[in-house]
Structure 1
Amino acid sequence: MTDWLMEALALGGVPVLMLVTFLSCLAMPVPSSLLMLGGGALAASGDLSLWSVALGAYGGAVTGDQVGYQIGHSGSEWLRRRAGSGRRGAIAMARAEAMLEARAGLAVFLSRWLLSPLGPYVNFAAGAARLDRLRFTLWDLAGEAVWVSLYVGLGYAFGSRIEMIAEISQNAVGLLAALAVMVVAALWMRRALKRAHAAGDRDAVTSPSP
């Protein structure tokens, strides 16, 4: 599939890149990061314009994020049933919800680039949780700018070594994502324990004396 998409990128150019980044933000299994590297490499060789590659990838990603948010906003119950039908989707959705509860704006921003595997699920969870859309959009715009600049820039600078750069970036993102999930889970548990402790104190104060 990856080879076919790379060939489609070389033939179809920016519209193919827009479509792939759009689909990736809806949890479709497409190699968006690799194609952005490829787009950067094609820009370096003069086959495509660097600005058109960057803007195309950015536009597709931001549009996909907005559609994902709307799916979560309009169909939260259906989305939960669908996510719950598969173990991987259910785990990703639970992690996304925990991240949003801990730090909503930061969760949106980091899941655009540093924790990109969780990005689509953060979109769904943000919509389902009715996170303020303007707040979501501002953090989303900032995060996608980092994501697109990083991968298109790497492709432009190291076009002859795309496979090596792609492997390194995937390994690094996987490691950082695992570490970030552990930190978020710890913060979420800490907050839950504080709430439980506060609720226990309130019960002790309001309970009648013997």
Structure 2
Amino acid sequence: MTDTLLALLPIYGPGLILMSVLLSCLAVPIPSSMLVMVAGGFAASGDLLYWQVFAAAFVGFVIGDQGAFHIARRGGPPLIDKLKLRPRIGPLVGRAEAFVDRRGGSAVFLSRTVASPLGPYVGYLSGALGFKWLAFTVSAVFGALIWSAGYSYVGFQFGSQIDEISALMSNMFGVIVAGAVAIGSGWWLRHSWRSFKARHGAEASS
């Protein structure tokens, strides 16, 4: 499917970008980040206009986010339970749920930037869990702005190295996740050690 979308990109341009990003925000498996980067490369060569690439990605992201939020607001927690039962996306929904539990409202912004693979599911969870619409929208729009500008600009600047850049950004995501796990583990070990020392000191004094 990726090759087909890339082949259609010079023909349908911004419209294809908008629909692809919109659908990916609804958890449809479309390589929207790759598509936006390649579109940025086409803009660098003059086949597309950069501002149209960026605008299409941003508008598609915002509409898709709002769609996921309002669909889940209507469906509520039962919708999330149904998503968890699907073998391919169930684990991602679980990861998104844990991410929201840890990060709260900031999960919306983070899942549209450094943790973008969780973005669609955080959008659904935000609606199902009753997040305030305005708070969700502000975080989601700001995150969509950064995501759209980042991927389109990378493609514009490094259009001839899209495959290498895509792999690098995927690896960077892995490093970010690993770093977060390491920091979290370190904090937990430190907290556990302090609790142990406090209990041990209390027992010794008694």
Shorter-chain TM-score bucket reads 0.7 to 0.9
Q: Distance in 1 between matches of 2:74 and 2:183?
A: 30
What letter is aligned with 2:155?
Answer: G
Q: 1:96 to 1:167 in 2, by over 3 A?
A: same
- Give the structure 1 partner of residue 119 of structure 2: 119
Deviation for aligned residue 1:68: 0.5
Identity across the alignment (%): 39
1:101-130 superposed Cα distances (whole Å, 9 cap, x missing partner): 333331100100210110001001000110
Q: Distance in 1 between matches of 2:6 and 2:78?
A: 34
C-alpha contact 2:10 2:48 (8 A) present in aligned 1: no
C-alpha contact 2:80 2:124 (8 A) present in aligned 1: no
1:26-58 superposed Cα distances (whole Å, 9 cap, x missing partner): 111111000011110111111111111101000
Q: 1:137 to 1:183 in 2, by over 3 A?
A: farther
Q: 1:107 to 1:17 in 2, by over 3 A?
A: same
Secondary structure, counterpart of 1:131 in structure 2: coil
- Corresponding residue pairs, total: 190
Q: Distance in 2 between matches of 1:146 and 1:46?
A: 23
Q: Counterparts in 2 of 1:48-59, with a 5 A limit? A: 48-59=48-59
- Of 69-78 and 121-130, deviating more is 69-78
Secondary structure, counterpart of 1:112 in structure 2: coil
Q: Distance in 1 between matches of 2:178 and 2:144?
A: 20
C-alpha contact 1:98 1:184 (8 A) present in aligned 2: no
Secondary structure, counterpart of 2:89 in structure 1: helix
Secondary structure, counterpart of 2:67 in structure 1: helix
Q: Distance in 1 between matches of 2:56 and 2:44?
A: 16
Q: Distance in 2 between matches of 1:41 and 1:173?
A: 22
Deviation for aligned residue 1:87: 4.1
- Give the structure 1 partner of residue 131 of structure 2: 131
C-alpha contact 1:36 1:155 (8 A) present in aligned 2: yes
Structure 1: unaligned runs, 5 residues or longer: 190-210
Q: Distance in 2 between matches of 1:22 and 1:184?
A: 33
Deviation for aligned residue 1:186: 9.4
C-alpha contact 2:14 2:52 (8 A) present in aligned 1: yes
C-alpha contact 2:71 2:127 (8 A) present in aligned 1: yes
Q: Distance in 1 between matches of 2:175 and 2:117?
A: 11
Structure 2: unaligned runs, 5 residues or longer: 189-206
C-alpha contact 1:73 1:130 (8 A) present in aligned 2: yes
Q: Distance in 1 between matches of 2:28 and 2:157?
A: 28
Q: Counterparts in 2 of 1:10-159, with a 5 A limit? A: 10-159=10-159
Q: Distance in 2 between matches of 1:184 and 1:7?
A: 43
C-alpha contact 1:72 1:125 (8 A) present in aligned 2: yes
Deviation for aligned residue 1:182: 7.2
C-alpha contact 1:99 1:184 (8 A) present in aligned 2: no
Report the TM-score when normalising by structure 2.
Answer: 0.83
What letter is aligned with 1:46?
Answer: G
C-alpha contact 1:22 1:61 (8 A) present in aligned 2: yes
